[in-house]
Amino acid sequence: MSPPASIGVFDSGVGGLTVLRALRAQLPGMPFLYVADSANAPYGDRSDAFILERSRAITRFLIDAGARLIVVACNTATAAAIAALRAEFDVPFVGIEPGIKPALARSQSRRVGVLATPSTLRSAKFRSLLRTHATQTEPVLQACPGLADAVERGDLQAPDLRALIRQCCAPLRAAHCDTVVLGCTHYPLVAAHIQTELGAQVHLLDTAEPVARQTARLWTHGTPCAAAPPQLYTNGDVAVLRRVAALCGLEDAQFHHGLAAATPPPAA
């Protein structure tokens, strides 16, 4: 008996739960499968080749479990792998990328900042995004090495995490940015801390909701009659996944420890 048609979602770790939260709000009752590849997080420290192989393995896992559409809820994996995934697998994919265009449209001062992983900022996909949408104004690009990893550990009040956020936000504050793009799905989990560092007047832009709307447009497998609890898989610490899921309003989720971790090569 084949598994029920569902929507698959994956990220390098727990950050994609912020996207899953938006997906459930847009598609209530839909069955979701979520994979946190936490044993290999953060992807921002990995080579493109490694990210692509992990993305392929996770995609196969999700399709075998019933996924008929897959959301790549990771900016780094979208940049490194989504083109190859679309060419290789016969299911629709929805990716996520930093919201440069809506940020520039919203900014009154045209001073836009981007917080993202180093891998995302150096990717060809991101550079193409800049060439397309930031032809007159160059955003302030702030790489945040270690921030996704610190969030992934699950203690969102840790002093070292707060210090790292302060360090990453300082250049954007000095540049008087009035709109800041959260260019990693982990960052909305610490949006309150980021807001504190930048000031209440700065607008933080998260692209989870547009991703959810695009997923709803592409989904063609009907709507279930009864709510289905999301199935959450991790090859990391289930307790961390459970704690972050609760912060995202996913208390009804069912948690599983699974999916081969793979032996990661040295970080790129």
What's the CA gap between 43 and 45, in Å, rounded? 5
Could you confirm whether 144 is annotated as catalytic? no
Could you confirm whether 168 is annotated as catalytic? no
Show which of 180, 206, 232 is a domain's final residue.
Answer: 206
Pairing of strands 254-257, 6-11: unpaired
Q: Which domain holds residue 40?
A: 6-96+209-257
- Residue-wise pLDDT for 116-161, tens only, equals 999 899 999 999 999 998 877 889 999 999 999 999 999 999 999 9
Clarify whether residues 188 and 219 are in a common domain.
no
Contact in structure between 207 and 99 (CB atoms under 8 Å): yes
Show which of 206, 224, 247 is a domain's final residue.
Answer: 206
* pLDDT of amino acid 262: 53
Q: Is the pLDDT assigned to residue 104 strictly greater than 70?
A: yes
Given the residues 144, 169, 177, 184, select the one marked as catalytic: 184
Given the residues 74, 169, 177, 248, select the one marked as catalytic: 74
How many domains, the chain? Answer: 2
Clarify whether residues 77 and 143 are in a common domain.
no
> Following CA atoms 10, 195, 45, 39 in sequence, which dihedral angle do they give, to the nearest 10 degrees?
-50
* pLDDT of amino acid 55: 97
Least confident of 1-10, 46-55, 189-198, 230-239: 1-10
Clarify whether residues 171 and 111 are in a common domain.
yes
How would residue 258 be classed by pLDDT, with cut points 50, 70 and 90? confident
Clarify whether residues 132 and 36 are in a common domain.
no
